[in-house]
Amino acid sequence: RLETVLPQLDQPKQLSSKNRMAEMKSIRRVETDDGISWYVEQSGSGPHIVLVASGEGDCHSFQGLATLLSPTYTVTTFDMPGFSRTIAPPSALEYLTPAKGAEQIITLLDKLHITRATFYGSSSGGLFALALMQNYEERVERIFIHEVPMHAIGELRDWVDAPPSENGKIVAKNCLPMS
């Protein structure tokens, strides 16, 4: 019966102190010197992990992941400049490259007093994570990237070139059985 189920919904959840911290989310607006007014969400406690949104630019896509990570990490995510709730002047969006996006993210991290972090990015968010590692190595603990269009960053081509022993085509050719 409905009336016997509804009272159960009103019962307060019993959470450990670690899970209570994970559920606490800070949402705020951060102004950086480049004129960007960032929408930022932070939750959890522990080492910093920064989740960089992909082409849709909205950090809402990380809600589930942030919930999973926040019992162990301080999770920071944000809407990208010019997307969703982050307001950016036209100059912030002109000639946008991974390096320029990484610089914008660093200005945000400076305001948040995050000196070093792990970064996760998918697609264009992964491009920004790679540019962070390339241009701000001292700020990057590690990166996790997913579905990054590597052809989009010309200067990374040499960086990711593998020696012949690591080239998949050469290895596959040498491993095929002889007929």
- Write out pLDDT tens, residues 143-167: 999 888 766 555 555 545 555 554 5
Picking from 159, 104, 107, 108, the residue whose alpha carbon sits closest to that of residue 130 is 159
| Secondary structure class of 153 (helix, strand, coil) | coil
pLDDT of residue 143: 94
The one-character DSSP state at 83 is: S
- pTM value? 0.73
Q: What does the alpha-carbon distance between residue 150 and residue 138 come to, in Å, rounded to a whole number? A: 22
Secondary element (H or E) of residue 44? strand 37-44
| Secondary structure class of 178 (helix, strand, coil) | coil
* pLDDT tens-place string over residues 47-103: 999 999 998 889 999 999 999 999 999 999 999 999 999 999 999 999 899 999 999
Q: What does the alpha-carbon distance between residue 109 and residue 96 come to, in Å, rounded to a whole number? A: 19
Burial (CB count <10 Å: 0-12, 13-18, 19+), residue 36: buried
